[in-house]
């Protein structure tokens, strides 16, 4: 009997394991806050209002006491207050904006279980937002010169097959090749079947991490790169956490007082070298090449397309590094919010920023692009993103998931992939 009981307990444990590992979390209180106007976009000097609802177990919370605040996104609120929502719903009048931009309303509700909050954001003539970052007279001369300096630098690529990462359709490799300073590392996928294929460069978001193969079921060459000059296949190693908390902590500010030594110089040039590498592959069709990324990667997508005419299409999710000087002009600036604190507001750093701001690369883009973002983004403020997108004169489509913050819906990600696949002729 004891053996049977032990076996039964083991079976129950095995069955319970997957159930617990797949458990999900959710908020006990759900706060809905949204601009009242259909479309969530107002005009300059138009009265702005937000609708609010407090829900528990899917039902409105009667006599809900809330704290609210509103004002231009990422800035100090222009007004704070409290109110009681008798039937669980209400409206907050948020005044007007006299300039194009975004206004954000934050709602907080507290009960005996805890504190809950959410935000809603309204656009105000966002297509009229103009950047604050200056455009240096020698902007493109600076970058053309840096790219020219790499012309005689051999790629010396190394490809190491990763059989455990491949499948019936594609081989996967860990690759490296020379950059302006050091090496670029990445994960490359190539279809097994002989032929010529389009290529997609996937550029990374912020941070230090390993990377995986992308789109291994497609008739497509993909290259997912890292930007820090370290291998990207150390999946069980503490290397990345050690770098992130050590020498690469705050990498986006390293040497920012010198445009020739700023950390992102080798990053931007590394993206161009990645295009060189893709063009060196005999399986590449030599023409159809796209670039895609989100956040820092959304920025690098625009930058790469602006620097390299061999890029034919770009897909950018919520681009960072856009209109960095916004804070110096009384409005939100782009991630990494370099000029929000006074100690970074040195003239030399402001001058360097102009050579690295996405806005100024956006002005160079000549190819079709899809730009996808949400109004609630609290990492890459939409004012900063629109500053860059509005600077693009090439064919562009803006896909809005208006209540999204700094993340993507599955449908949003699928839309971006399908747009790129169609442009590249991938089935």
Query: Which residues carry out catalysis?
Result: 295, 377, 406
Q: What is the dihedral of CA 346, 349, 351, 352, to 10 degrees?
A: 180
Is residue 358 within 8 A of residue 334, CB to CB? The reply is: yes
Treating both helix axes as pointing N-terminal to C-terminal, what angle do 139-148 and 263-280 enclose, rounded to 10 degrees? 60
User: Can you tell me the distance from the alpha carbon of 65 to that of 88, in angstroms, rounded to the nearest whole number?
Assistant: 9
Q: Say which residues have a Cβ less than 8 Å from residue 251's Cβ, sequence separation at least 6.
A: 228, 263
Is residue 35 within 8 A of residue 46, CB to CB? The reply is: no
Chain-centroid distance, C-alpha 63: 39
114 three-class SS: strand
Burial of 152 (0-12, 13-18, 19+ CB in 10 A): exposed
Is residue 150 within 8 A of residue 272, CB to CB? The reply is: yes
Q: Say which residues have a Cβ less than 8 Å from residue 318's Cβ, sequence separation at least 6.
A: 294, 295, 298, 372, 373, 374, 377, 379, 380, 385, 406
Nearest to 391 by CA among 286, 317, 306: 306
User: Can you tell me the distance from the alpha carbon of 93 to that of 184, in angstroms, rounded to the nearest whole number?
Assistant: 51
Q: Say which residues have a Cβ less than 8 Å from residue 346's Cβ, sequence separation at least 6.
A: 257
Chain-centroid distance, C-alpha 79: 30
> 325 pairs with which residues across the strands?
none
Q: CB atoms < 10 A from the CB of 272, how many?
A: 21
- Between the two ends of the chain, the Cα-to-Cα distance in Å is 59
Nearest to 384 by CA among 125, 102, 106: 102
């Amino acid at each position: 009997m004891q053996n049977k009981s032990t076996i039964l307990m083991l079976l129950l444990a095995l069955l319970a394991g997957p159930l617990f590992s797949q458990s999900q979390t959710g908020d006990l209180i759900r706060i809905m806050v949204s601009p009242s106007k259909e479309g969530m976009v107002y005009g300059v000097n138009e009265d702005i209002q937000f609708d609010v609802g407090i829900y528990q177990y899917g039902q409105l919370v009667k006599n809900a006491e809330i704290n609210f605040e509103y004002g231009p996104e990422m800035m100090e609120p222009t007004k704070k207050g409290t109110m009681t929502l008798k039937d669980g719903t209400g409206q907050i009048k948020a005044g007007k904006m006299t300039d194009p931009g975004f206004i954000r309303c934050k709602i907080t509700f507290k009960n005996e279980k805890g504190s809950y909050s959410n935000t809603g954001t309204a656009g105000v003539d966002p297509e009229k937002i103009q950047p604050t970052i200056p455009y240096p007279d020698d902007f493109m001369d600076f970058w053309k010169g840096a790219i020219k300096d790499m012309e005689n630098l051999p790629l010396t690529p190394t490809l190491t097959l990763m059989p455990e990462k491949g499948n019936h359709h594609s081989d996967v490799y860990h690759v490296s090749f020379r950059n302006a300073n050091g090496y670029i590392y990445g994960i490359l996928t190539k279809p097994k079947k002989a032929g010529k294929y389009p290529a997609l460069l996937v550029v990374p978001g912020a941070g230090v991490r390993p990377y995986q193969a992308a789109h291994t079921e497609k008739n497509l060459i993909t290259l997912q790169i890292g930007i820090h000059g370290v291998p990207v296949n150390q999946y069980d190693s503490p290397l990345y956490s050690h770098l992130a908390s050590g020498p690469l902590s705050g990498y986006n500010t390293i040497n920012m007082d010198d445009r020739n030594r700023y950390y992102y110089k080798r990053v931007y040039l590394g993206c161009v070298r990645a295009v060189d590498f893709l063009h060196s592959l005999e399986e590449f069709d030599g023409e159809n090449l796209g670039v895609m990324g989100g956040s820092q990667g959304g920025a690098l997508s625009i930058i790469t397309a602006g620097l390299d005419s061999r890029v034919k299409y770009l897909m950018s999710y919520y681009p960072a590094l856009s209109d960095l000087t916004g804070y110096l002009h009384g409005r939100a600036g782009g991630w990494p919010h370099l000029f929000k604190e006074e100690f970074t507001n040195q003239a030399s750093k402001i001058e360097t920023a102009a050579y690295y701001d996405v806005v100024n690369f956006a002005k160079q883009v000549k190819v079709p692009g899809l730009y996808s973002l949400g109004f609630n983004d609290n990492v890459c403020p939409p004012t900063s993103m629109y500053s860059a997108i509005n600077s693009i004169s090439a064919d562009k489509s803006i896909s809005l998931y208006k209540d999204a913050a700094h993340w993507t819906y599955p449908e949003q990600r699928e839309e971006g992939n399908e747009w790129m696949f169609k442009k590249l002729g991938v089935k």
